[in-house]
Amino acid sequence: MSEHKTSFLKKYVFSTDHKVIALQYMFTSLSALLIGFFFVLIMRWELAFPGHPIPLLGRLFSARLTPNGVMSPEFYNMLGAMHGTAMIFLGIAPLGFAAFGNYVLPLQVGAPDMAFPKINMISYWSFVVGCLILAASFFLPSGPLQSGWTAYPPLSEITRGTTFWILAMVFIITSSLLGAINFIVTGLNMRASGLTLGRLPIFVWAQLVTSAIILLAFPPVEGGAILLLMDCVAHTSFYLPQGLTILGHASGAAGGGQPILWQHLFWFLGHPEVYVLLLPAIGIVAEIIANNSRKPLYGYKAMVGSLLTILILSFVVWAHHLYISGMSPFLSDFFAITTLAISVPSVILLTCLVFSLQGGSIRFTTPMLFALSFLPLFGIGGLTGIPLGVTVTDIYLHDTYYVIGHFHYVVVAGILMALFGGIYFWFPKWFGRKMNESLGKWHFWGTVIGINGTFFPMFILGLAGQSRRLWNPLAQAHNVPWQKWHVVSSVFAGILLLAQIPFIYNFFHSLFKGERVSDNPWEATTLDWACPSPPPHGNFSSPVSVYRGPYEYSPPSHRDSWVSQNAEAS
Amino acid sequence: MNLLHLFGLPPAASTYAADIDFGLRLTFGAIVFVFFSWSVYLAYLVFRYRNKPGERAEYEKSEGISKAMIPGLVVLVLEMILIIFWEIPVWGKIKEEMPKMGDVVEVNVLAQQFAWNIQYPGPDGKFGRREQKLVSFSNPIGLDYNDPAAKDDIVLANELHLPLGKTALIHLMSMDVIHDFAVPEFRIKQDIVPGMDIPLWVKPTKIGTFDLACAQLCGFGHSLMVGHVVVQTPEDFAAWLKKEAPAPQAASSANNF
């Protein structure tokens, strides 16, 4: 394809090129991660030193949010809800799914672009509108959402900020749905000749399954959110029972609704969403491990089978978030069984990744360090989920800091580490330059220390029975002896922030001044490395054909330690 | 000695706390065992198969249908045994089977932003009628004092007294948003949903005062929504009930006789 002469605006802003859109998603989601991290740093000050003025920042906010520089409980709840929303819906999910998927999936299937480039552009700009609405809600008189990122009614209906949160979510959900359709069509219909389903890289499989989950899980919560919106703005009562008395005043709601209904609709998305975050990360780790252990990935079919099993099972586990919500306790046994059953495909995926190392010749590159750390760190996240999946032990641990520790080990220690690895791995493909290895290692070790120091104390706080979402933990006498662990956690959160400085510097420095590398610096086999770095408009100079599976590393018939998927049989 | 006490677990104070502590010990034991054996194996692989000059990786292509599934299936079998023989019966005992009326202490807990209203039925054993339009600052639960059953009811804020060794049946109700009844020493937790009356039972095994803290985000005062559970000997409890009983209304009793 020829290089078009296009204006700056069309080339870099309203672009339909999957590579530009991927990088737009990447910069937006990395910014959202940083902003969401700042939210929680302010909260962690309040948790470690309740009632003390916030240093430096305390006077920046309005007197309503931080009277005398001290965080108000409303502000705490706003930051809490927006931290969750920003990290999950604006940070991790668009980074793993939209950014990596957009860049790598079309390349790995040998396609010139996405199947629907314009829909791809609409998907990104819809996402931007969602982000802007959320950001704007901070400056509205109502403020942002303050009822947790789960927005449980009736609380979400009697506090302000919910309406704008729902509006933003509708744009973000639309963006995800458009992206999912695009990924499925591209991944299935635009494969290069010879690229059978059995020859697709695990990353592509992971993105396809993620897309299917998004397509099936988001519409119910979107419908549910519209009902919540109606409750907020049109005074319907989908989620409100009769006869509520709010702070001494009778609520005018007609009643007849059921608050738990929202929880079912929300978690019908909410739990599959965990796999929307996780599966792209698993795909990235699989690519990095195969490439850096220089041998074929272990158990390709078992991994694909596990991904497909997760696709089905992830839709029948949602109510394990509701064991003690007041739903019929007889339902819980069913969800406990499905919840423990879904651990099996996850265990198989991890087992295959670990077995892939056996007999390898492991290169300890920066992406490999991140991918290797995913295995034990995500292991902690997964294993600590067992006492939450078991109904009896969940009675004690539910809604405590233990839950916070568990899912941050899953999402930060596991998934985010894998995504960092992916950035180091594909950076040469995006920019034709490599990120600095020693800065990458500083980033890696600092992040590992910061993450464990931040999140491990939460297990102790949770075992001590401390509830989550407390503006002032010391208001409850039983929390006082364990307060020191909040201080530890906050100090390490600061270290985690410092550890990101080498990454941010490395990213921008390497963008302009990094070491120039060849098209395939990692000596990788998949098609994304068979095109120039960065790939031109249209990606491949001529249509590619595929002759073999995705992980032909160290085959005995070749002198090189790799054979590209599109290399003709000799 | 339960090692988990070193990691924050408070002392147990109810009959079913032992069951839950057993589950915690079992699952955490399994977590620690699996994590460390897996990590040692992983560390061995990473060290043994590190890149050495001149050495080539083995070209071993396993579809791995069987070998990779073994750990997963072992996990599945162990988990199913745990669920069928332990979890389902214990969960049923705690959350499904409620004690029969009769020899139990009945209490209504009416949660609101940001307080716990406690209502005892008094000597007649009947809770007085409540009505939303009667709710006021001095009558937070809207008790209808014209109802004969209401006359001996005891209404308190943020203080739940329970007798030692006797089963208490607690009716959880909310007046506004979702709250959560959580007492770490009892190892119990239950969301309180407006529009529903959710039963919960507990049989205290330890005398003392414990925090009753809301565990579900309920608004700006969530962290301040903390009351106390006071577990007393049955004698002390009876004496306390007598002391708290509302003074008989002189006028109405005079009219009756």
Please give the share of chain B, as a percent, with pLDDT higher than 90: 75
Choose the closest CB to A330 out of B23, B45, B96: B96
Residue of A nearest to B190 (CA): A324
User: Looking at this predicted complex, what is its ipTM?
Assistant: 0.93
The CB density around residue B47, as the number of other CB atoms within 10 Å, is 9
Please give the share of chain B, as a percent, with pLDDT higher than 70: 94
Q: Where are the domains of chain A?
A: 17-241+257-529
Which pLDDT belongs to residue B248?
Answer: 64
User: Residue A326: which of A262, A400, A270 has the closest Cα?
Assistant: A262
Distance from C-alpha of A106 to C-alpha of A204, rounded to nearest angstrom: 9
Choose the closest CB to B95 out of A77, A248, A329: A329
Which pLDDT belongs to residue A2?
Answer: 45
In the predicted structure, residue A4 carries a pLDDT above the cut 70: no
User: Residue A182: which of A243, A102, A237, A290 has the closest Cα?
Assistant: A102
Main-chain phi, psi angles of B151, to 5 degrees? -60, -35
In the predicted structure, residue B255 carries a pLDDT above the cut 50: no
Which pLDDT belongs to residue B104?
Answer: 93
Distance from C-alpha of A489 to C-alpha of A311, rounded to nearest angstrom: 35
Instruction: Say whether B83 and A355 touch across the interface (CB within 8 A).
Output: no
Instruction: Say whether A259 and B193 touch across the interface (CB within 8 A).
Output: yes
Which pLDDT belongs to residue A320?
Answer: 94
- Plot region of A144 (φ>0 → left; ψ -120 to 50 → alpha; else → beta): beta
Q: Report residue B65's pLDDT band, with 50, 70 and 90 as the boundaries.
A: low
Least confident range from A263-277, B73-87, B201-215: namely B73-87
Structure tokens at A429: 């493909």
Cβ(B45)–Cβ(A298) below 8 Å: no
Residue of A nearest to B54 (CA): A361
**Which residue matches tokens 């599934």?**
B69
Instruction: Say whether B193 and A330 touch across the interface (CB within 8 A).
Output: no
Q: Which long-range contacts (C-beta less than 8 Å, at least 24 apart) are formed by A486-490?
A: A486/A44, A486/A47, A486/A48, A486/A457, A486/A461, A487/A48, A487/A49, A488/A453, A488/A457, A489/A44, A489/A47, A489/A48, A489/A453, A489/A454, A489/A455, A489/A457, A489/A458, A489/A461, A490/A44, A490/A45, A490/A47, A490/A48
Q: Report residue A407's pLDDT band, with 50, 70 and 90 as the boundaries.
A: very high
Q: CA of B121: how far to CAs of A538, B105, B125, B139, in Å? A: 77, 9, 5, 16
Structure tokens at A209: 């399954």
Mean pLDDT estimate for chain A: 94
Least confident range from A183-192, A286-295, A409-418, B133-142: namely B133-142
Question: Which residues in chain A have their CB less than 8 angstroms from residue B9's CB?
Answer: 463-465
Q: How far is CA A417 from the centre of its chain?
A: 11
In the predicted structure, residue B249 carries a pLDDT above the cut 70: no
Least confident range from A181-190, A219-228, B132-141: namely B132-141
In the predicted structure, residue B71 carries a pLDDT above the cut 90: no
**Nearest-neighbour CA in chain B from A109: distance (Å):** 22
Interface test with B, best of A396, A471, A560 (most B CBs within 10 A): A396
Least confident range from A7-11, A251-255, B25-29, B63-67: namely B63-67
Q: What interhelical angle do A483-499 and A501-513 show, nearest 10?
A: 10
The CB density around residue B35, as the number of other CB atoms within 10 Å, is 16
Reported CATH class of domain A17-241+257-529? mainly alpha
Please give the share of chain A, as a percent, with pLDDT higher than 70: 99
Instruction: Say whether A260 and B86 touch across the interface (CB within 8 A).
Output: no
Q: Does A298 touch chain B (CB under 8 A)?
A: yes
- DSSP of A457-486, one letter per residue? HHHHHHHTTPBSS-S-GGGSGGGGGGHHHH
Which residues are CB-neighbours of A523 under 8 A, at least 6 positions away? A291, A560, A561, A562
pLDDT, tens digit, 9 for 90 and up, residues A200-215: 999 999 999 999 999 9
Cβ(B170)–Cβ(B162) below 8 Å: no
Q: Which residue has better confidence, A411 or A67?
A: A411
Q: Report residue A372's pLDDT band, with 50, 70 and 90 as the boundaries.
A: very high
Q: What average pLDDT does this structure show over A11-30? A: 94
In the predicted structure, residue B251 carries a pLDDT above the cut 60: no
Which residues 432-451 of chain A have a CB within 8 Å of chain B?
none
Q: CA of B118: how far to CAs of A406, B85, B178, in Å? A: 34, 37, 17
Instruction: Say whether B42 and A375 touch across the interface (CB within 8 A).
Output: yes
Question: Which residues in chain B have their CB less than 8 angstroms from residue A375's CB?
Answer: 42
Which pLDDT belongs to residue A60?
Answer: 84
Which pLDDT belongs to residue A464?
Answer: 96
Distance from C-alpha of B90 to C-alpha of B93, rounded to nearest angstrom: 5
Instruction: Say whether A391 and B31 touch across the interface (CB within 8 A).
Output: no
As a CATH number, domain B105-247 is: 2.60.40.420
Mean pLDDT estimate for chain B: 90
In the predicted structure, residue B63 carries a pLDDT above the cut 70: no
pLDDT, tens digit, 9 for 90 and up, residues A51-105: 999 988 888 888 888 888 999 999 999 999 999 999 999 999 999 999 999 999 9
Main-chain phi, psi angles of B175, to 5 degrees? -95, -15
Instruction: Say whether A241 and B132 touch across the interface (CB within 8 A).
Output: no
Cβ(A522)–Cβ(A291) below 8 Å: yes
Q: How far is CA A122 from the centre of its chain?
A: 21
**Nearest-neighbour CA in chain B from A22: distance (Å):** 32
Residue of A nearest to B7 (CA): A460
- DSSP of A385-454, one letter per residue? THHHHSHHHHHHHTTBHHHHHHHHIIIIIIIIHHHHHHHHHHHHHHHSEE--HHHHHHHHHHHHHHHHHH
Which pLDDT belongs to residue A522?
Answer: 96
Choose the closest CB to A332 out of B4, B91, B182: B91
Structure tokens at A464: 């001590």
Instruction: Say whether B79 and A343 touch across the interface (CB within 8 A).
Output: yes
Q: Report residue B102's pLDDT band, with 50, 70 and 90 as the boundaries.
A: confident
User: Residue A548: which of A568, A570, A521, A528 has the closest Cα?
Assistant: A568
Q: How far is CA A21 from the centre of its chain?
A: 18
Main-chain phi, psi angles of A62, to 5 degrees? -65, 160
pLDDT, tens digit, 9 for 90 and up, residues A319-362: 999 999 999 999 999 999 999 899 999 999 999 999 999 999 99
pLDDT, tens digit, 9 for 90 and up, residues A451-495: 999 999 999 999 999 999 999 999 999 999 999 999 999 999 999
Cβ(A337)–Cβ(A315) below 8 Å: no
Distance from C-alpha of A81 to C-alpha of A76, rounded to nearest angstrom: 9
Q: Does A67 touch chain B (CB under 8 A)?
A: no
Q: Three-class SS of residue A62?
A: coil
Which pLDDT belongs to residue A3?
Answer: 52
**Nearest-neighbour CA in chain A from B37: distance (Å):** 11
Structure tokens at B240: 């306390």
Distance from C-alpha of A241 to C-alpha of A260, rounded to nearest angstrom: 11
Which residues are CB-neighbours of B89 under 8 A, at least 6 positions away? none
Q: What average pLDDT does this structure show over B246-255? A: 52
pLDDT, tens digit, 9 for 90 and up, residues A151-176: 999 999 999 899 999 999 999 999 99
Q: Report residue B245's pLDDT band, with 50, 70 and 90 as the boundaries.
A: confident
Which residues 374-433 of chain A have a CB within 8 Å of chain B?
375-376, 379-380, 383-384, 386-387, 390-393, 395-396, 398-400
Which pLDDT belongs to residue B74?
Answer: 87
Q: Three-class SS of residue A206?
A: helix
